[in-house]
Structures are given as structure tokens and as C-alpha cells.
Amino acid sequence: MESALVNKKELKHHRVLDESTQKDIKVVTAPALIISVPPWSLASEIGLKQGDKILEINGAGLRDIFDFELQFKNSEEVELLIKRENEELIFEIEKDYDDELGAEFATPLFNGVQECANKCPFCFVENQPFDQTRETLQLRDDDFRLSYFHGSYITLTNLSFSDRKRIEELRPGPLYISVHATEPEVRNLMLGRKKSNPIIDELKWLGSLGIPVHTQIVLCPEMNDKEHLLKTISDLHELKDNPVVSVAVVPVGLTKYHRGGLRRFTIDELFDVINLVENWQNSDLNNRKNFVFLSDEFYLMTHTPVPNQDYYGDYPQLEDGVGMTRLFLNEIEKKLKQIKKPKNRNNQASKKIAWINGTISKPIVEQVANRINQAIPGIELKAFCLDSIFWGVTNVSGLLTGNDIYQGLRYIPKEMIGELIIIPSVMLKEGSDIFLDDMHISELEKKLGIKCKKAWGADELINLVSQTHLHLTATGT
Ligand code: SF4
């Protein structure tokens, strides 16, 4: 968690005069913790070590990696004030302008994450049991730096004068903006605010700085849908390319913990949204193509075929779940064409492999499992599409917890599940083997008594299935 990496006692508060406006700007700096020093790096050459903290560079404190890079890259002589355990050390470096330090920091935001000042009734943070989910899922971040570094959506409702000055100086882009609605009163309702700057003015400001913007609309029934949605799309289209590059429309997702009084869309309403957006696009295909995108849930929940690649262009909103299904289907086909068909083991029973997914994608994953089974003889890949007891909803794969999988499989005989369980990596914390409920994949493996392996995307899924086939063949199991 970004904020957990920040020790509040180490934060330093300063006031700096902004010369252009003669206003005081509040600046909060903090040490930059080094977590890795690659042997080839300048950091290693000068003797920096993992665990060192950079307190100052050329006499100035640091807010984030932007500050560090500006100072480091723009100087040929750099002085670093380092804290190593209880000692303070000075490192002097003579370098070329382009040289990089090469050390890896624990987080790009040394002074912590800026939290959000909204109270959206659909907020995911309010839709979970606080005592049973990771701390990272409980952080309400709304920080333009995270938007730039990780593609997180921000609302621009908490920008201080100092933040605005920094955005004007740094011009970070693209940024990802939650618009929800362009009518101020509807947007304020969506954000749970009494007032906020009109989003169209904010987007024009970003446009004037040359910062490209991807936007999202979380769609809630009877709040920002129908005529409000049409108005929002049309208003954003007026700003097409400067700065608005794309718009993602995502249906509100609610769990059993929701207390904000909202409801989900009915299937008929989802069809209405698909029609509304498609009619808007089709009325001027030359001008409106590849601008507004419906998230995959609209198609999966209505059992409508997902659009083809042409609809998604270069997939600008993949991180928001827009086009993942199409991309996955295309990659499966591509990968299956590349693999050599293993020889069938005559008359031997196929080896079973289980592939876990959420119920929302059942028709798609069953179709994919059938294609893989046709292409790789000797294997029976079976899709297990599970509901989430934890969240209490028919669910997308990314929200299934370790215990959901255990409960979904525990009464099924092992011989029906198979010799391997494939877990899509999207269910695990990034770069780890830990589910949303903190269960480790090895714990699930132990509880079920069946090997579990994670797979990211089509390539890894098919590699895993092919390797399992080869392994089982070679060992004669
Ligand atoms: S902007 Fe809204 S949805 Fe996002 S974290 Fe804040 S309250 Fe939650």
C-alpha cells in the first residue's frame, strides 16, 4: 500500500513562495526509501544500499519521483543526503545530464497518497467488509500522480493550489478522469458533494496544458443514465482529442455490503444502454468511432457477443475492463495457431484441468475451454464458473476470493476437478500469490489437495495447459 510505505513522523511541512502569483505554497516532503540497487547502476557504483533513504537532493526535500528526477537529471553535480540506519551520510556525484541513478524506490510517491474528498454512493471502498479485506482496498486515493503512474481514475475535486501549479509545471499525461456526468448537479450527486468545479472547465484546463485525458462514466440507474448519459457523451465529444481521447462506460457494481441505497441495472436496462450508445456512435461513424466504449460487463451480462477488434481500436481503456474479453479471445486464437499439436495418446483418458472464473464470463470461458480441448488432445480443460459468497453477487473473475474458490470446489469429487487448478492472475494481488481475502494460493492448494497455478492472459493459460499435457505424458501419470 502506497501510504503504508510512508512514516508520518518523517513528513516535513514547508511553505514556499510561488513567484508568479506571490502566493505561499504548502509542500510536504519525505524520505525516498531505496528498495533495490542493481549491480550495474550508478547507485551501486557510488555505494548506495538497499534500505537507504534519500533525505535531500542538492539541499532540497522530495515529494515524489518527479522532484527527484527533475533535480537529478538537470544537474551534472548532485549531492545526496542519505539516512542509513541512524547515520546521515553525504554522497557527491559527478555525472552527465542523461545519467540515471538506477536505484528502485519503494513507491513513486514519497510523501504518501492524496486521499479523495468525495462520498460517492457507489464507492467500492464502502462496499466491502473492512475487517476482511486488504488495507490497499480500503484506501480512497484521488492523486493525479497515481493517475499518471498507474492509470488510476481521479476526480480533480481535491486539487489544491499547489497541485494545480505542479500539474501546470509537470504536464503529466495521459491522466484518467472520472467524469460520471457533465451536468454539475448530476456529477455532484454522483460524487456525494455539495459543489465542485464544473468538470468541463477542468477538462478544458487540462486541454490548454496539452494533457491527454481518458475518461470514465460509472453508470447508475436513475442517476446519470438515459438523457444524462447522452448529454455527457455529447459534451465530452465536443472536447474530442483535446483533451478527451476516450470515454469508458461502466455499470455500477454493488456487493451485499452496499448501504448507499443504489440498485443494479436490470438486463433490459443494460440492453437500453447498449442501444443508446450504439445509436449515438452509428449516427456519425466517421466522427464517433473509437471514442466511447462500453465495458465488457454490458455484453457479458446480456449474453451479447462482444464487439470485434475494430470497435476497440488500440484498446485505450483496457485497464477499465473495456475490451479485455475481445483481446483475450483473439489472443487465444493466435496462440492456438502457433502451438504444435501434441500427439494424442491413443485410448488413454484425457487429463482433467480446472480453470476458475466468475459466473459473468461463463459462456465465453466455456467456448474458450472447448477450443483449447479441440486443439490440445489428451487434455480436458473444464471451466468452473463460481459465484462469490464473500461479495454476495454473481461476479466478475477479479473479485473471487480464495475462500470463494474453496467453497465452490470443496464438495466436488477430486477426480471431477482434475490434476491442476488454473487461477487467473487477475484474482491475485499484483505480483503476488495472494487473493483479495489474503488467502495464499498455497493455502488453497493445501485445503483442496490439488495443485494450483496462476496464469495471466491467453499465452500463460495455453502454455500451462500444454506444459501440463507434456508433463503428464512424460511422467505417465
Ligand atoms: S472518488 Fe468516489 S468512488 Fe472514488 S474513492 Fe472517492 S468516494 Fe470512492
- 447-451 CB contacts, 8 Å cutoff, 24+ apart: 447/406, 447/410, 448/406, 448/409, 448/410, 448/414, 448/417, 448/421, 449/414, 450/354, 450/414, 450/417, 450/418, 450/419, 450/420, 450/421, 451/419, 451/420, 451/421
Which residue would you say has higher pLDDT here, 67 or 470? Answer: 67
Residues having CB within 6 Å of any atom of ligand 1: 116, 118-120, 123, 125, 140, 142, 155
418/34 Cα distance (integer angstroms): 44
pLDDT at 345: 54
What does the buried/exposed string (b/e) look like for 457-470 if buried means 16 or more CB atoms within 10 Å of the residue's CB?
bbebbbebbbebbe
- The answer on pLDDT for 2 being more than 50 is no
Q: Alpha carbon of 42 to those of 106, 236, 313: distances in Å?
A: 18, 46, 41
Ligand 1 atom closest to Cα of residue 218: 3
Ligand 1 atom closest to Cα of residue 119: 7
- The answer on pLDDT for 132 being more than 50 is yes
Q: Tens of pLDDT along 111-122?
A: 999 999 999 999
What is the arithmetic mean of pLDDT over 11-20?
85
The total of other beta-carbon atoms located within 10 Å of residue 441's CB is 20
Q: Tens of pLDDT along 291-327?
A: 999 999 999 999 999 999 999 999 999 988 899 999 9
- The answer on pLDDT for 256 being more than 90 is no
Note whether 88 and 52 are within 8 A (CB).
no
Among 2, 3, 115, 116, which is best to mutate for testing ligand 1, by the most ligand atoms less than 8 A from CB?
116
Confidence of residue 396 (pLDDT cuts 50, 70, 90): confident
216/174 Cα distance (integer angstroms): 13
- The answer on pLDDT for 341 being more than 70 is no
Output Rg (C-alpha) for the chain, integer angstroms. Answer: 25
What is the arithmetic mean of pLDDT over 366-388?
92
What is the arithmetic mean of pLDDT over 274-290?
92
Residue type, 197: N
pLDDT at 1: 41
CB neighbour list of residue 471: distance below 8 Å, 6 or more residues apart: none
Instruction: Give the H/E segment covering residue 235.
Output: helix 227-238
Confidence of residue 338 (pLDDT cuts 50, 70, 90): confident
Which residue would you say has higher pLDDT here, 462 or 346? Answer: 462
Q: For residue 126, report the distance from its CA to the centre of ligand 1, in Å.
A: 9
CA 367 to chain centroid: 26
In the chain, the percentage of residues whose pLDDT exceeds 90 is 72
Residue closest by Cα to atom 3 of ligand 1: 123
Q: Tens of pLDDT along 425-448?
A: 999 988 899 998 889 999 999 999
pLDDT at 135: 67
Residue closest by Cα to atom 2 of ligand 1: 120
- 183-187 CB contacts, 8 Å cutoff, 24+ apart: 183/228, 183/231, 183/232, 186/223, 186/224, 186/228, 187/224
Alpha helices by DSSP H, 126-178? 144-150, 161-170
What is the arithmetic mean of pLDDT over 280-299?
92
Cell triple for residue 417? 476437478
The total of other beta-carbon atoms located within 10 Å of residue 8's CB is 9
Q: Tens of pLDDT along 135-194?
A: 666 788 999 999 999 999 999 999 998 899 999 999 999 999 999 999 999 999 999 999
Q: For residue 123, report the distance from its CA to the centre of ligand 1, in Å.
A: 5
465/442 Cα distance (integer angstroms): 19
Q: Are strands 104-105 and 153-154 parallel, antiparallel or unpaired?
A: unpaired
Residue closest by Cα to atom 5 of ligand 1: 140
- The answer on pLDDT for 473 being more than 80 is no
Confidence of residue 129 (pLDDT cuts 50, 70, 90): confident
Q: Are strands 53-57 and 32-36 parallel, antiparallel or unpaired?
A: antiparallel
pLDDT at 343: 59
Q: How many residues does the structure list for the chain? A: 477
Among 125, 158, 178, 179, which is best to mutate for testing ligand 1, by the most ligand atoms less than 8 A from CB?
125
Mean pLDDT of the chain: 90
Residue with cell 483442496: 448
Cell triple for residue 346? 491413443
Q: Alpha carbon of 61 to those of 64, 91, 140, 172: distances in Å?
A: 9, 15, 26, 21
CB neighbour list of residue 440: distance below 8 Å, 6 or more residues apart: 402, 433, 434
Lowest average pLDDT, out of 2-16, 139-153, 211-225, 334-348, goes to 334-348
- The answer on pLDDT for 3 being more than 70 is no
Confidence of residue 98 (pLDDT cuts 50, 70, 90): confident
The domains found in the chain, sorted by start residue, are 3-105 (2.30.42.10), 135-321 (3.80.30.10), 332-471 (3.40.50)
What is the arithmetic mean of pLDDT over 72-85?
93
80/100 Cα distance (integer angstroms): 14
Give φ, ψ of 19 to 5 degrees: -70, -35
